[in-house]
Amino acid sequence: MRVLHIIWSFTVGGTECRLVDQFKHISPNVEPHLMIVNDHFDACLTNQLPSNVTAHFINRPISSKNPYYYLKFNFFVKKINPEVIIFHVANLVHLLFEKNKYPKILHLHNVHDDLTRHVDKYDGYIAISEAASEHIKKYRKKATPYVVYNGLCLSKISQRENYKLGETFKIIQLGRLKDSIKGQSFFLQVMKNITEHNHIEKWSLDFVGDGPSRSTLERLSVELGLENNVNFLGQKPVDFVYENLKDYNLLVLPSFSEGLGNAVIEGMAAKIPVLVSNLPGPMEVIKSGEYGKYFEAGNSNDCVKKVTEIYKDYKNGQVENKTNVTYKYAKDMFDISNMVINVENLYRDFLSIGKDNRQ
């Protein structure tokens, strides 16, 4: 089964890292191809692609309208002759000339894209959460997306074993520094509030990731007087994150928009408490509070309260039992092997669309 995955860029992010993991666990009867349209990719990530994946680089400059890249794109599609095409961003479908020749599947990874001009161009849909599924149906009411939760290589994540509270309460946030979506400045304000009211004696906050908001967030941390507490570690390899996540006391996801929340799953697998804003995607991950704490999105007082509660849980020795239960749930629900089986079964189902189109 020849499957072509298409994505605009391939920098270190949740979608891209999940694709690499998926390719590493794909079954032998699948011939995977990956097409990266823009000349914006991280060699450290493309170098992790397994040998069974054929990568195709269109090298289009971002926002270029040059028809050469459209022709190159379609030349490669025709040469590959895929049985199924998986588009990982909705507007990519407009690059394809022969839209009726191949079954076209949208694999939606977020809940903030405007799908108005794109959604009806697809033959099928895969959503990473019920929230993403509802987002698709908002634009195409008759759509019936298949929900397949993201899978992670959870066995590679080291687990916390010592739950004694150290001198510093260590907090981590993983993800792109894109404040309008990820809510980093909101959480800096939360930690300023916590500091002013002495809710936590000594704390640190590490941002792991990079993005367009970094300089603004760095300035804000200085303006708030938090520069000695806050560290911007930049982009780190996945292996580094998986090895060191266990050393933190709390993973926080204060996002304003989130399709699922891969970082939350990683925190659960590392056996550390997780705190999320009450968006539909992250709430699915923690099963509406059964496997993690949440606060009302954008409500700083509620967030302060929940961070303080987790800090007190450590002091009262109430963390370890909770994280053990959460870890088992994460293993059962979000392991990469389950995801690969589910998506490959869907690819086979989608093959019939292509056969019908060719008749």
Check whether residue 93 and residue 173 sit in a common domain: no
Check whether residue 175 and residue 289 sit in a common domain: yes
Q: Using the 8-state DSSP alphabet, how is residue 41 labeled? A: B
pLDDT at 60: 98
Check whether residue 351 and residue 280 sit in a common domain: no
Lowest-confidence range among 42-46, 291-295, 299-303?
42-46
User: Does the structure show a pLDDT above 80 at 352?
Assistant: no
Question: Parallel, antiparallel, or unpaired: how do β-strands 31-38 and 54-60 relate?
Answer: parallel
| Local confidence band at 291 (pLDDT 50, 70, 90 cut-offs) | very high
Average pLDDT across the chain, whole number: 94
- The CATH number of residue 24's host domain is 3.40.50.2000
Exposure string of 51-80, with b = 16+ CB inside 10 Å and e = fewer, is eebeebbbebeeeeeeeebbebbeebbeeb
Exposure string of 86-107, with b = 16+ CB inside 10 Å and e = fewer, is bbbbbebbebbeeeebbbbbbb
**pTM score, whole prediction:** 0.86
**Could you report the per-residue pLDDT of 318-350, keeping only the tens digit for each?**
999 999 999 999 999 999 988 999 999 999 988
- Burial (0-12, 13-18, 19+ Cβ within 10 Å), 5: buried
Check whether residue 33 and residue 85 sit in a common domain: yes
pLDDT at 33: 98
Check whether residue 146 and residue 162 sit in a common domain: no
- The two tokens of residue 206 are 């590490």
Segment 1-12 mean pLDDT: 95
Task: Work out how many domains the chain is built from and give that number.
Answer: 2
User: Does the structure show a pLDDT above 60 at 359?
Assistant: no
- Type of residue found at 201: E
Check whether residue 226 and residue 164 sit in a common domain: yes
Check whether residue 131 and residue 184 sit in a common domain: no
CB atoms within 10 A of CB 127: 26
Q: What is d(CA 107, CA 16) in angstroms, rounded to the nearest whole number?
A: 12
Q: For helices 184-196 and 300-315, give the axis angle rounded to 10 degrees.
A: 60
Check whether residue 160 and residue 290 sit in a common domain: yes
Residue 212: left if φ>0, alpha if ψ -120 to 50, beta else—which one?
alpha
Domain residues for the domain of 175 are: 154-334
CB atoms within 10 A of CB 40: 14
Q: If DSSP codes are grouped into helix, strand and coil, which group holds residue 144?
A: coil
Check whether residue 223 and residue 297 sit in a common domain: yes
Contact status, residue 311 vs residue 169, Cβ threshold 8 Å: yes
Check whether residue 12 and residue 64 sit in a common domain: yes
Check whether residue 290 and residue 193 sit in a common domain: yes
Check whether residue 215 and residue 255 sit in a common domain: yes
